Structure 1
Amino acid sequence: MSARDSEQSGRAGPAERSQRRVQPSGSGEPAAPFGAFVRKPGRAREATRGESQVAAEAPGMRLESKQSWPSDAVEVGAIVDAYGLKGWVKVAAHAQAGRGGDALLAAKRWWLEKGSERKSAAVVLAKTHGDAVVAQLGGTADRDAALALRGHRVYVSRHEFPALEADEFYWVDLLGLEVVNEGGEVLGKVASMIDNGAHSVLQVEYPTTGKDGKPVTGERLIPFVGVYVKSVDQAAKRIVVDWQADY
């Protein structure tokens, strides 16, 4: 985006913003890409399994409508190619497995969208392959069927995301939370998350007044690291930070 377009400036785009898990970093681990999460400093996360297998709910693809589309669908990647000759697809995930991309491995059903076309398919088998995820979906029996799915964006229902540790958070769950400092001063609300290559950053927006006296939207960028982020209370929809309004 530019100030708002992450893909050009290193900020997470709409698809990325929702998936990532975050935790106030400080552990020296690399930042989470896509379906990202953040965790508190000093905590190591066990490696996520690289493969998931579930029983297919249906033998083929299922056409979906706006009404049947899950309300908690979160974009997690896009089908970029066929994989092999037996109908497998290759997905460019918005996060690596173990850092949010494992939502692709855990889900029993993928929801696919391309333009106005919507469909879903049961996941027969999904596994990591290099920096991508490959999967066998119900209804894709050969390479031609898999190639026909290129360009479809892949969504997963939020309730199928893998559970996190108590101090880990998916980006999608931080959006909209109110940010206050330790003095109780309201700094704004989380509008998006940014991955700057070292850690996640809260993009906090707040109402203010421009030089012309007209109302405008201000922005604060607060590193999501333990030294600044003191607590995240999802139930109260609030993040407490060590940050002043004039920073």
Structure 2
Amino acid sequence: MADPSNRICVGAIGGAFGVRGEVRLKSFCAVAEDIATYGPLWTEDGRQSFAVRLTRPVNGGLGARLSGVETREQAEALKGATLWADRGALPALPDDEFYHTDLIGLTVVDTGGAVLGRLRAIHDHGAGDILDVAGPGGALLIPFTRAAVPTIDLAAGRIVADPPGSDE
């Protein structure tokens, strides 16, 4: 089994679908169907792994069969579980793209170098990603665009941000 700290969350189980152990799967992948190609997928605690076979699109996600899950009760017991792929199974990204998990916890500074806080989450509510920065004055939400986030330096562990309205 690979190192659990070297895994990336790629989806979650929304619950049972049907009566024969099928699950409703929410994919966090850029191309939702790619989730089935990164297997095996692991539960967050690393105790269970599954091969994934997609069956059909369903309302709110994808229908899927998970290896070893044969009954509705087994599928329902997995409701809410997140699914994690070994980093090595995921594609390499271009220089200007990042896995969200690699950004969480980085220090966020403004263009003058003043610390704004730490990145605690990245949200996507449909209109584009939003950086959720925990700062000394509370939460700061920054659109994840090139204009608002001109530089990400993973080696230095920092994100340079120019939040809208910061030059007023």
Q: Is the 8 A contact 1:106 1:162 kept in 2?
A: no
2:62 aligned counterpart, secondary structure:
strand
Q: Which residue of 2 aligns with 1:211?
A: none
- RMSD of aligned alpha carbons: 3.3
Give distance in 2, aligned partners of 1:240 and 1:83. 47
Q: Is the 8 A contact 1:178 1:238 kept in 2?
A: yes
Cα deviation for residue 220 of structure 1 reads: 1.4
Q: Which residue of 1 aligns with 2:158?
A: 238
Give distance in 2, aligned partners of 1:82 and 1:126. 12
Aligned pairs, how many? 162
Q: Which residue of 2 aligns with 1:105?
A: 36
Q: Which residue of 2 aligns with 1:175?
A: 104
Cα deviation for residue 78 of structure 1 reads: 0.8
Of structures 1 and 2, the one with the larger relative CO (CA 8 A, separation 6+) is 1
| Structure 2 runs not aligned, ≥5 long | none
Q: Could you tell me which of 25, 49, 66 is aligned with 1:92?
A: 25
Q: Which residue of 2 aligns with 1:80?
A: 15
Q: Could you tell me which of 70, 92, 97 is aligned with 2:4?
A: 70
Q: Which residue of 1 aligns with 2:120?
A: 191
Q: Is the 8 A contact 1:187 1:206 kept in 2?
A: yes
Cα deviation for residue 119 of structure 1 reads: 4.0
Q: Which residue of 1 aligns with 2:75?
A: 149
Which has the greater radius of gyration? 1
| Structure 1 runs not aligned, ≥5 long | 1-67, 209-217
Give distance in 2, aligned partners of 1:167 and 1:176. 19
Q: TM-score, structure 2 length as denominator?
A: 0.73
Deviations 1:31-89 (A, max 9, x none): xxxxxxxxxxxxxxxxxxxxxxxxxxxxxxxxxxxxx982344542115224585x5x2
Give distance in 1, aligned partners of 2:66 and 2:152. 37
Q: Is the 8 A contact 1:104 1:156 kept in 2?
A: no
